Structure 1
């Protein structure tokens, strides 16, 4: 089959030779999955592909499903482990899987409206907050499952933050294309957050819960649609860190409008989830700088936009009391 060239290039950019080998064997893997689970696979996908291949499928009983495949990695194993923990509560149901081959068979969510299509941003943020409440899993409950699924278990916010140190290692102590003062400030802020976060309850966070990863679905036996999460990364941290992907997505281009929208979103989420605004904003700034480091590391993404959003978080921080 012929796949989108941009997606193929992303797989190779992120995974290198392993990605090339996986792509070369992809048709064979698809045939194996179809035979194993008795699936009729579509030869084209209606979904926008990023790192994984996602294909609609029909099962033998006529029900719809989605086959998701990716280069086997720690991230694919922790996604699988997170879905097992959620068990369909606030998230898409896992129907079958093969962790060693990076394959998951998922329920297909219908009607499948994206939260990003909800025009009222405040309403969308409140919906997302409700999904976050459903997904909340204490860290202690997640550790055993994560280790069983991926050996090293779920990553922690501290481990994610170490991406900034990897950036410095890559550039012999420097920060390459990123402004050194911003990287230094992000490292200091992460350090402060993690040091003071020991008093905050630790949870299994989705890790990428933005407007494009929340869909509507009417399940059998339900009278109305509910909103469900897809594509969890799975990371251990405090709830204030878990809201950042929602904050940083679907922002207006105007700096003034962007700051106003971020301020409103932070207010809604802080009220709905009992979060400390200063910690949310501090995580927002430091994570946006971390995102730029990931862009450099993976060779994909828009680091310039992330830096602009980091500046917006920094401006909002100046409106708040100092981080304790």
Structure 2
């Protein structure tokens, strides 16, 4: 009998609509087939938002991860991204089933979250190191979404609010839209990016000291990747006594370690933070705490002098 938490099931119904109950009904059969095909025993799942992800052990005792992606979700692009990254800076893809949209992944042990270090400068440095390992040049046709594709969220936002700004401060939204448009038009050579490289997606491992999990698979300039590092673990920034200086240090450090322009990192951070808050509304119908934090990050960055 598999553990399917009530909160997870309710969230899937909200996110997937009519497909939610149907997918949840199929989920035990999918998990049973995973156990049979890959000779493993699945343990209770992690508390995650969008997919069913659970630790498991193979017959020989090897710890692994089973991930069942939601319908019409990120399976295809994540599977292709993991194959291209090939374990460099990221957990390895061990096997997958396209029909069930299920992956068997390397389990990172001990799996300590980067965010647990409580040293912002060290965390930023580790994240920069992981970024450099993951990025892959990409050219020609591909199946990955692009930064420009993700930026279409601004169009949907304006449509949702009949051309207005809804719960977003008008000047901040306008600036974010302008920055996203300008940055997209002047991007450097495209690369395959992780797409969501925040503090909880980097874990301590044995194969390498730190590895990433859950790559979205996104094509764009590497500077785009830094935005998630700016808008996460914000409590540390806002309780530092000098939030502006703390955020500026993050920008400065990323620019120095990655060889990028400070202004470009800041501007991507503003645009992404506003877009991230909008995605929260798209998923759940309203701004939640994390979305409000993202907007606070955007305001902080917008007030930063470069």
User: Is TM > 0.5 for Structure 1 vs Structure 2?
Assistant: yes
How many angstroms apart in 2 are the aligned matches of 1:177 and 1:238?
30
How many angstroms apart in 1 are the aligned matches of 2:85 and 2:20?
29
Native 8 Å contact 1:241 1:280 kept in 2:
yes
Instruction: For residue 257 of structure 1, report the CA deviation from its aligned partner.
Output: 3.8
Match of 1:111 in 2: 110
Deviations 1:67-89 (A, max 9, x none): 01121325221111111111111
Match of 1:154 in 2: 144
> Which residue among 283, 301, 305 is the counterpart of 1:313?
301
1:238 aligns with 2:221: yes
How many angstroms apart in 1 are the aligned matches of 2:73 and 2:110?
31
Instruction: For residue 2 of structure 1, report the CA deviation from its aligned partner.
Output: 4.5
Aligned 1:285-300 pairs, distance under 5 A:
285-299=270-284
Match of 1:283 in 2: 268
How many angstroms apart in 2 are the aligned matches of 1:161 and 1:99?
28
How many angstroms apart in 2 are the aligned matches of 1:190 and 1:62?
47
Match of 1:136 in 2: 135
1:268 aligns with 2:253: yes
How many angstroms apart in 1 are the aligned matches of 2:298 and 2:74?
25
> Which residue among 191, 204, 212 is the counterpart of 2:192?
204
Deviations 1:209-229 (A, max 9, x none): 11111111113xxxxx52110
Match of 1:187 in 2: 177
Taking only aligned residues, the RMSD between alpha carbons, in angstroms, comes to 1.8
Gaps of 5+ in 2: none
Identify if the C-alpha distance between structure 1 residues 239 and 72 changes in structure 2 by more than 3 Å, giving closer, same or farther: same
Aligned 1:1-324 pairs, distance under 5 A:
1-42=2-43, 44-45=44-45, 47-140=46-139, 144=141, 147=142, 153-197=143-187, 200-219=188-207, 225-252=208-235, 253-254=238-239, 257-299=242-284, 301=288, 302-316=290-304, 319-320=305-306
TM-score between the two structures when normalised by the length of structure 2: 0.92
Q: Number of paired residues? A: 300
Match of 1:222 in 2: none
Instruction: For residue 284 of structure 1, report the CA deviation from its aligned partner.
Output: 0.6
How many angstroms apart in 2 are the aligned matches of 1:187 and 1:29?
41
Native 8 Å contact 1:7 1:50 kept in 2:
yes
Native 8 Å contact 1:214 1:230 kept in 2:
yes
SS of equivalent residue, structure 1 residue 80: helix
SS of equivalent residue, structure 2 residue 234: coil
TM-score between the two structures when normalised by the length of structure 1: 0.87
How many angstroms apart in 1 are the aligned matches of 2:172 and 2:212?
32
Instruction: For residue 276 of structure 1, report the CA deviation from its aligned partner.
Output: 0.6
How many angstroms apart in 1 are the aligned matches of 2:170 and 2:253?
33
How many angstroms apart in 2 are the aligned matches of 1:181 and 1:124?
32
How many angstroms apart in 2 are the aligned matches of 1:201 and 1:159?
16
Native 8 Å contact 1:80 1:99 kept in 2:
no
